[in-house]
Amino acid sequence: MNSSQQKRALVTGATGFVGNAVTRALLSQGKSVRILSRPQSNRELLKDLSVEVAWGDLRDIKSLQEALKGVDELYHVAAQYTFYNPKPQEIYASNVEGTRNILEAGDKAGVQKMVYTSTVGAIGIPLDGSPGTEESPLSLEDCSGHYKRSKFLAEEEALKLAQKGLPIVIVNPSAPVGPRDVKPTPTGKMILDFLKGKMPAYIETGLNLIDVDDCAQGHLLAAEKGKVGERYILGNQNLRLKEILELLAEITGLPAPKFQIPYPVAQMAAWFSEGWAKLSGSVPAIEKEAVQLAKKFMFFDAGKAVRELGLPQSSPRQALKKAVKWYLDHGYIPPKQVKKIKLKD
């Protein structure tokens, strides 16, 4: 073990949205950070960070053993977060087998605390319309699409290992928003589509938003205060999609879409979109899994994490504004469209 002032953490997924925020939060606490990265990963978000890079892959156990040497804390944030992949077996190999591999390797390496990043998609939605909690049941049969199924199975692996005595705490982020959503995530894509004027209508659904930096702090707090074998929802405010778009309209001065798409129409559009993507080798504009998820309001109660961990609850409106500003500053929006955007306080 390293001294308390020089604790070393290994972060997977540090080149992605949430993992990068976790990396920055750890560095701000003065911890030594090592990241697991594949050689082909885009490390643009790491260029200004003082981190050690361990080359490896979640499916390569030997590389995981090397990466975990001398590590005190493990933050397994990496996942294939996509609602469309023409080779779905890759999602399970990364999200399920990869999770089991690194948690078992962490145990063998003597890691003292392991935080596994799951998702609220692995938590049930109560039939009475109330927000989901850590106790809301969900079965594999309830999971729509490969991403959600893979994360459900990965969380089951983490829970089984925790029951065997491994020091694992599970966090379930809702929909993080903020700067550095470089890929972007599905939530970030929604913001980008709005900014680009590519959202003429919306579907009736709802999300729980959280500032990505609050979500990152939740990971660190879970390592510090979380109970082994338990899970914590990292979320903040429940908002209908219509309300989120109205907030974006307030922030940018752009008009919010007024038309609501009926669910069957959205389903049909996603079916055609994925069909064309398979034929053309492109990315679908609308994914079937995203539409299936939209059928339910993804509303959750983060009260347990607020009470037990001290999860911060910053303004989701400000998080949306930070996301908008980051996309504007990094050239994601065509110049012609940028001229239409008037950022407001």
- CATH code, domain carrying 36: 3.40.50.720
In this structure, the answer to whether residues 21 and 156 fall within a common structural domain is yes
Mean per-residue pLDDT pooled into runs of 10, the chain (345 residues): 71 97 97 94 90 96 97 95 70 94 98 98 92 95 85 97 98 98 92 94 91 99 98 98 97 93 69 67 66 77 99 98 98 96 86
The DSSP secondary structure of 217-254, one letter per residue, reads: HHHHHHHHHPPTT-EEEE--EEEEHHHHHHHHHHHH-P
> Is the same domain home to 186 and 274?
no
* Contact (Cβ atoms closer than 8 angstroms) between residue 249 and residue 256: yes
Domain membership flag for residue 345:
no
The sign of the dihedral angle between the CA atoms of 156, 42, 289, 88 is negative
Q: Where are the alpha helices (DSSP H) in 174-239?
A: 186-195, 212-225
Q: Is 34 in the same domain as 170?
A: yes
Q: How many whole angstroms from its chain centre is CA 128? A: 26
Beta partners for 208?
A: 238
Whether 61 and 175 map to the same domain: the answer is yes
Give domain status of residue 196, yes or no.
no
Among candidate residues 283, 190, 301, 178, the one with its CA nearest the CA of residue 236: 301
Helix (H, G, I), strand (E, B) or coil at 247: helix
Within 10 Å of residue 64's Cβ, how many Cβ atoms?
26
Quick count: other Cβ atoms within 10 Å of Cβ 302?
A: 28
Same domain, 110 and 165: yes
Can you give the pLDDT at residue 204? 86
CA angle, residues 249, 255, 260, in degrees to nearest 5 = 100
- Flag whether 48 is in a domain: yes
Domain of residue 257 covers: 243-294
Asked, for residue 114, whether it belongs to a domain, the answer is yes
Whether 220 maps to a domain, the answer reads: yes
Q: What is the pLDDT of residue 284?
A: 62
Q: Do 186 and 316 reside in the same domain of the chain?
A: yes
Looking at the fold, whether 281 and 151 belong to one and the same domain comes out as no
Strand partners, 169: 115
**Residue 197 resides in a domain:** no
Give the closest residue to 343 by CA, choosing from 248, 209, 242, 212.
248
Domain annotation covers residue 270: yes
Tokens of 14: 């540090």
**CB-based contacts of 133, cutoff 8 Å, min separation 6:** 123, 233, 300, 301, 303, 304
Sequence-distant (≥ 6) Cβ neighbours of residue 198 within 8 angstroms: none
**CB–CB of 167/260 below 8 Å?**
no
Q: Is residue 249 part of a domain?
A: yes
Whether residues 149 and 104 fall in one domain: yes
Asked if residue 169 and residue 286 are part of one domain, the reply reads: no
User: What is the pLDDT at residue 202?
Assistant: 83
What pLDDT sits at residue 88? 76
Q: Are residues 114 and 134 in the same domain?
A: yes
User: How many structural domains compose the chain?
Assistant: 2
- Do 258 and 118 share a structural domain? no
Looking at the fold, whether 128 and 174 belong to one and the same domain comes out as yes
Q: Across-strand partners of 261?
A: 203
